[in-house]
Amino acid sequence: MQVCLAKPSFYAWLAALVLLMPAFFGPATNAPAQAAPVAFIALPSPDANTPLYDGWNSVSLTFANDSPIEVAADAIELEAALDSIWRFDAPSQTWDGFDPDAPPALNTLDTLNMGDIVLILVHAVPGPLPAPTQEVEVEVVADGLAFPVSMAFAPDGRIFYNEFATGQIRVIENGAVLSEPFAQLDIWFEGEAGLLGLALHPGFQDNGLVYVYHSYRDTGSIANRVVSLRAQGNQSAETDLILEGIPGHSLHNGGILEFGPDGKLYVASGDSFRSDLAQDLNSPAGKVLRLDPDGDVPADNPFAGSPVYSLGHRNMFGMAFRPQTGALYATENGPSGNDEVNLIVAGGNYGWPAVAGTGEISGLTDPIAVYTPAIAPTEADFYMGEVYSEQYRGNLFFGSYIGGLLTRFFLDDDGEIVFREALLNGEYGPILDVATAPDGLLYFSTPTTIYRIARLRGP
């Protein structure tokens, strides 16, 4: 059965059509008590290959008798945008469907039959849906690098980056890697332990503070710490300890740093290969931590006196704040698949180790996206530049180590994914970091190279 969904510009027309439905089919005595922002009427097409109306976005529902409904959608992410599906029952002159007060689930609707009249309620999205990207032009910024795992951009355009295994923080200025490192840190390198996260203080132009997350050896065990360094030109002048004693391991160290719009420092730690620590509020492992820039615990943290902001994480490799709302998003690597993109909320429990991926368990927060098989999602950023066309502004971009994907999410006002696409599919190798530079371009790093996307073009 072919189902056709109208473009957002048809909202008013479609709402009127829905109101006229009883005139065509009789009274709908069991119609939805609460309507979603937009109501789409969908009719079966006589030809499954031809949309009922030219110019409509099409979504196909394929089914067999007594089988769950399978949804395939190119133009809209139906699972994320769906509120409910209702089917008109001609003999009883009623609408069969979901309880409008209960969360909808695709497989709760009875078997659909050819010729059924279906009403689909979906969330409204702001403006027309974005179009797929047709051209991505990539340029080399610097190559021959030693695993630039994280980058940060100074307001003057300098690029600071961490070398994962060497402990060196280096600077690219005027397109060239400076011969002398900004800093040489005493780190422990083993497996996933090393020099990891990097962030510049929001007031870097005035205070020159550079924050890094790195592994070290502590009485025979691996641990992680956060330190700040003060820049004098292109050299580090002094170092201050922000937080230490974050449990470490050769695996699962996390290590992402991000300053929020509230001026606080957010730290993503791994579970240090001890999954039980992710649920232990007395341990900083497997958490998003929230600190004042000097390392103090903010008084308004969700757990009094604790740096813990959220818990139940396995191994996060990316964080980004959505400028439109201030909401925090994080990428997380799962066990043998179930990689996640999460919307992080204060005090939220993301389920690990009890749940990987979606669990639908009371008291636990499910991800907004899950990837199986694994892609190993890495760093993320919301693009707010003005170089690319408007359809990219405010979109979430993140990389992946497996497959070398650069993925783009278009989110609605509620943070739901209504469109996604992969801009890169492994052409440049594993992607480590993704960030927007002061020049308004997206940059990404791989194990040997830092690139920038000079052009993104849709239809």
Strands 57-62 vs 2-5: parallel, antiparallel or unpaired: antiparallel
Pairwise CA distance, residues 456 & 448, whole Å: 23
Residue type, 23: A
Pairwise CA distance, residues 302 & 282, whole Å: 14
The three-point CA angle 421-396-371 to 5° equals 55
Pairwise CA distance, residues 170 & 387, whole Å: 27
89 class by beta-carbon count within 10 Å (0-12 exposed, 13-18 middle, 19+ buried)? middle
Pairwise CA distance, residues 447 & 139, whole Å: 16
Handedness of CA 91, 94, 97, 98 (dihedral sign): negative
Structure tokens at 361: 């368990």
Pairwise CA distance, residues 31 & 86, whole Å: 8
Q: Which helix (H) or strand (E) holds 81?
A: helix 78-81
Which distant-in-sequence residues (6+ apart) come within 8 Å of 206 by Cβ?
none
Considering 214, 249, 252, 313, which one is annotated as catalytic? 252
Are 150 and 379 in contact by the 8 Å Cβ rule? The answer is yes
Report the DSSP beta bridge partners of residue 340: 332, 370
Which distant-in-sequence residues (6+ apart) come within 8 Å of 334 by Cβ?
314, 340, 356, 357, 370, 372, 374
Smallest CA-to-CA distance from 128 within 425, 389, 423, 436 is with 389
Q: Is 252 a catalytic residue?
A: yes
**Residues for the chain: how many in total?**
459
The three-point CA angle 204-205-210 to 5° equals 25
The three-point CA angle 84-85-86 to 5° equals 120
For residue 271, how many C-alpha atoms fall within 13 Å in the half-sphere facing its CB? 22
Pairwise CA distance, residues 312 & 343, whole Å: 13
Are 246 and 285 in contact by the 8 Å Cβ rule? The answer is yes
Catalytic residue list: 252
